[in-house]
Amino acid sequence: MTQASDPLTLHDRLLAATYRCVERFGLGKTTIEDIVKESGVSRATIYRQFAGGRDELMLETVGWELTNYFSQLADHVRDAPTLAELLRRGLAFAHRSVAEHAVLRKVMETEPERLLPLLTTESAKTLPFIADFLLPYLRREAEAGRLRPEVDIDRAAEYLARSILSLIGAPGRWDLDDPDQVSDLVEVELLGGIAATT
């Protein structure tokens, strides 16, 4: 089967082409015609893949890139020996990678009003992904006696997932380039309410 006749491959090709256009022109200025030129796919084929047109294509492209981003983040922290270490590594990596992400940086600087609603929509998918990733680490912490006995593991996973997403986008007073501050953030703010007292 050729690449053009494989709908999954075609779908991904269109997302990648859209991403390259956003990188070049920004979210607001990228048109279907730009994507036609970049992908080499006809306008009619794009609308067959994305019946909602440009808006659906932009939303799916943001979701596609977020999935790639969080997969890389998960790979980076997967071998962390403890939940605290996973959070420290994850926050530092997430902060660095967002700062170095050319497209995200460009869009946040030039048209954040377009990106933030897309991120909000996608967070409904991203939150469960992060929470599910954290669950085995939380269970391990509970089994090792490092969590308070009354902690509801599922609620703790959701709380940590929401906190992580918030901190990646807006770290506030925390300097995520400073390992000491990251450690304080993890120990006091993120785990302070659920960690067992020693």
* Domain segments of the chain as ranges: 7-190
CATH topology of domain 7-190: Tetracycline Repressor; domain 2 (1.10.357)
pLDDT digits (tens, 9 = 90+) for 69-98: 888 888 999 999 999 999 999 999 988 887
Chain-centre distance for alpha carbon 117: 14
* Residue-level pLDDT at 2: 43
The predicted pLDDT at position 4 comes to 47
- By three-state DSSP, how is residue 41 classified? coil
Q: What type of residue sits at position 115?
A: L
Dihedral, CA of residue 17, residue 18, residue 19 and residue 21, to nearest 10 = 90
Q: Is the pLDDT of residue 68 over 70?
A: yes
Give 24-40 pLDDT, tens digit per residue: 888 888 999 999 999 99
* DSSP-derived secondary structure letter, 196: P
pLDDT at 40: 94
**127/157 Cα distance (integer angstroms):** 9
At residue 66, the pLDDT reads 79
Rg value, the chain, Cα: 20
CA distance linking residue 15 with residue 195, whole number of Å:
41
Q: According to the model, what pLDDT value does residue 3 have?
A: 46
Amino acid 119: pLDDT: 63
What letter does residue 197 receive in the DSSP assignment? P
The alpha helices in 26-111, defined as continuous H runs, are 32-39, 43-49, 53-77, 83-100, 102-110
The string of pLDDT tens digits covering residues 131-157 is 999 999 999 999 999 999 999 999 999
Q: What is the mean pLDDT of the chain?
A: 86
